[in-house]
Amino acid sequence: GANYWNRLIGFTVGSVNFIIWLLLPLVYVSQFITSLLNKKKERSVLSRSDFSAMTEIGLRHGVFEKEESKIIQNLLRFDTIRAKDIMTPRTVVIAADDEETIDSFYEEHHDLHFSRIPLYSDHIDQISGFFLKNDMLASLIQDRGKEPLKNLRRDITIVNEQMAVPDLFNKLMEKREHIALVVDEFGGMAGLVTMEDVIETLLGMEIMDELDNIEDMQKLARSNWEDRARKMGILPPNDPEAQEE
C-alpha cells in the first residue's frame, strides 16, 4: 500500500464513497432511535401514584407529619379539581341589588360577616361586580348612605366552572383578586369561588376570611364541599377531623 498508494487512491475514494452512501440510511435510523431514547431518559420515571405512595411511606416512617402528608396528597390531585368542585353554589350565595341604598342594605345586614358581597342587576344571575364591606362602612361614616351600592362596585373576575384549580389560583394571583364569579357552559351564574376556597382545598382545612367570624359563607356550602371532597379523595370517608370541623 505504501508503494502503490498513488494507484490505489482512486479505488479507495470510490469505495469509501460507496460505503458511505450505502450506510447513510442506517445512520439516519440510528440517529432517530437515539433521539427517542434520549427523550425517554429525560422524562420522569415517577408517576403521581409513585409520589403519593412515597408520601404514605414517609408518613409511616415519620418523615412527614400528618398535615404535611395531607398537603402533598392534595397537591398531587390539584389539577384534577375544577372550580365547580370548590365554589359556593349559586343557591346559597348572598348578593345585593346594585340599586339598593347603602343605608338600606346595612340596616338589613348589619351583622353580615362576609368581607366581599356580590352585586347583581335586576336578578341574581346577572352579577355585575362586588363591593367590600370596608367600603360600605367607610361610606356610612362619610354620610353617603343614600347612595346606591353600585357606587361601591368593583369588577369581578369571571371563570368557567371547568377551570382547573391551579389555573384558577394563577388567575386570581395575576389579577390580585380574592373572589371570582363561576359561570356554567351557557354563561349563567354557577356560584362564587374565593382564594380562601383554593387554599382550603390545598391545605385540606378551613381558613378564616380577614373579616369573618365564621369559617365559610354558608354551612350548607361547606357540607356540600366536604361531600364532593370525599368523592374525589381529598378527604377520606367519614374522616373524624372533617366531622369535627
- Single-letter residue type at 54: M
Task: Kindly state the greatest CA–CA separation across the chain.
Answer: 114
The mean pLDDT value for 17-22 works out to: 60
Q: Do residues 193 and 182 touch, judged by C-beta distance below 8 A?
A: yes
Q: What is the pLDDT of residue 222?
A: 57
Q: Which three cell numbers stand for residue 163?
A: 377551570
Q: Where are the domains of the chain?
A: 47-80, 81-239
- Percent of the chain clearing pLDDT 70 (strictly above): 62
CATH superfamily name and code, 81-239: CBS-domain (3.10.580.10)
Q: What is the pLDDT of residue 136?
A: 94
What's the distance, CA 213 to chain centroid? 26
Strongest mean pLDDT among 46-55, 75-84, 141-150, 182-191: 141-150
Asked if residue 211 has pLDDT above 60, the reply is: no
Q: Do residues 190 and 125 touch, judged by C-beta distance below 8 A?
A: no
Q: Do residues 124 and 98 touch, judged by C-beta distance below 8 A?
A: no
For 66, 73, 152, 193, the CA distances from 83, given in Å and listed in that order, are: 26, 19, 27, 7
What are the residues whose beta carbons fall under 8 Å from the beta carbon of 74, sequence distance 6 or more? Answer: 201, 202, 203, 204, 234
Band (pLDDT 50/70/90 cuts) for residue 212 is very low
Nearest to 124 by CA among 101, 147, 106, 98: 98
d(CA 202, CA 70): 9
What are the residues whose beta carbons fall under 8 Å from the beta carbon of 194, sequence distance 6 or more? Answer: 88, 116, 178, 179, 180, 209
d(CA 172, CA 174): 5
Asked if residue 133 has pLDDT above 70, the reply is: yes
Asked if residue 138 has pLDDT above 60, the reply is: yes
**What DSSP element (H or E) covers 180?**
strand 179-183
Q: What is the pLDDT of residue 73?
A: 73
